[in-house]
Amino acid sequence: MNKNMNMSHEGKTLFIFLIRVTFFLVISIAIMSCTSSKAIQKGNVDHSSDNTLAQPYETKSSMNFSVVIGWEDLEKPVAPSGFNVTKYADSFENPRWMVTTPNGDILVAEANTYHPPLEKFLGTIVGANKSNSFNESADRITLLRDTDGDGFPDIRNIFLSD
């Protein structure tokens, strides 16, 4: 047998020690992870600090709905100095998405989530009707095209409709 293949007594002792320490660490980590997950599942978590969340359904739900308001005829957003805001187009039915095509046309997606009658009724009670449109969905994409370069669309067509 090769002399280099034989381990000295001190080498064998160190090797066995390292194996035992590694085994002990692996078992300890496994036991600690099982214990902590069981404590959380049983609700035995310390809630004494102020930065913990309440358990689900422990507190009253909060519903905050925005109130959508339009602009009056002469109103417009305030722009930073050196910029101007003008209305490009209006009279959309619940516009959700807008993109400019490579040729400069603008596509506006007009859509709305379907709400069954009961949901519309309950939404009105809780105030959701102030931020959600309960009207029928337009389900269309409108094309806007400025043909003369004045910054306003001269053509307004339905590009795609359901």
Q: Give dist(CA 80, CA 86) in Å, integer.
A: 13
Q: Could you tell me the residue ranges of all domains in the chain?
A: 8-39, 63-162
Measured at the CA of 78, the angle between CA 74 and CA 81, to 5 degrees, comes to 125
Model confidence at 144, pLDDT cuts 50, 70, 90, reads very high
Q: Quick one: pLDDT at residue 6?
A: 62
For the ranges 5-19, 55-69, 85-99, the maximum mean pLDDT occurs at 85-99
Q: Give dist(CA 111, CA 59) in Å, integer.
A: 34
Q: Quick one: pLDDT at residue 110?
A: 92
For the ranges 27-31, 59-63, 150-154, the maximum mean pLDDT occurs at 150-154
Q: Give dist(CA 129, CA 152) in Å, integer.
A: 32
Residue 23 has pLDDT above 50, yes or no: yes
Q: Give dist(CA 83, CA 142) in Å, integer.
A: 27
Q: Over the stretch 59-93, which tens digit does the pLDDT of each residue have?
A: 887 777 777 777 788 888 889 999 988 888 988 88
Cα separations in angstroms, 101 against 94, 104, 105, 144, 145: 21, 5, 5, 10, 10
- pTM listed for this prediction: 0.52
Q: Give dist(CA 152, CA 73) in Å, integer.
A: 17
Residue 47 has pLDDT above 80, yes or no: no
Find the mean pLDDT for residues 93-117. 90
Question: Token match 């214990």: residue?
Answer: 35
